Amino acid sequence: MSETKPSVLFVCVHNAGRSQMGAAFLAHLGGDRVEVRSAGSAPAGTVNPAVVEAMREIGVDISAETPKILTTEAVQSSDVVITMGCGDACPVLPGKRYLDWKLNDPAGQDVAAVRTTRDEIERRVRGLLADLGVEVRA
């Protein structure tokens, strides 16, 4: 990992749900002690509205986020790459740490269904921060 602060990239297909929640939790809980990116192999036009609402319920506003295309450069500049169902579309580069988080896709789900995925992502992000030695913001 980098000498300054760890860098994490969250990747899913559309960058409209799981990876957006992962990045939002990492930024919210890790603050400026971690560098956060998210991207998708086939980005959607907008972030899933049910995901935006589920995050808003817990005080995390991602309404201004937009899905971004996954690039090799984003992978190269990240210490940890967390894949969330992007399959073979995620580039695998040597020297990077990869974690594959199998999570339900929030696409087509209502807010009630998204909450379960949201809560699981938060739990995993908290574990990741502990693993990276990054103190969770109060």
State pLDDT tens for residues 74-109. 999 999 999 997 666 666 777 789 999 999 999 999
How far is 9 from 44, CA to CA, in rounded Å?
A: 17
Residue 118 structure tokens: 């949201």
| Residues tagged active-site | 12, 86, 90
Please, how many CA atoms are within 13 Å of residue 137, restricted to the half-sphere of its CB?
Answer: 10
* Contact between residue 105 and residue 17 where contact means Cβ atoms under 8 Å apart: yes
- pLDDT score for 95: 77
| pLDDT tens figures, 32-69 | 999 999 999 899 999 999 999 999 999 999 999 999 99
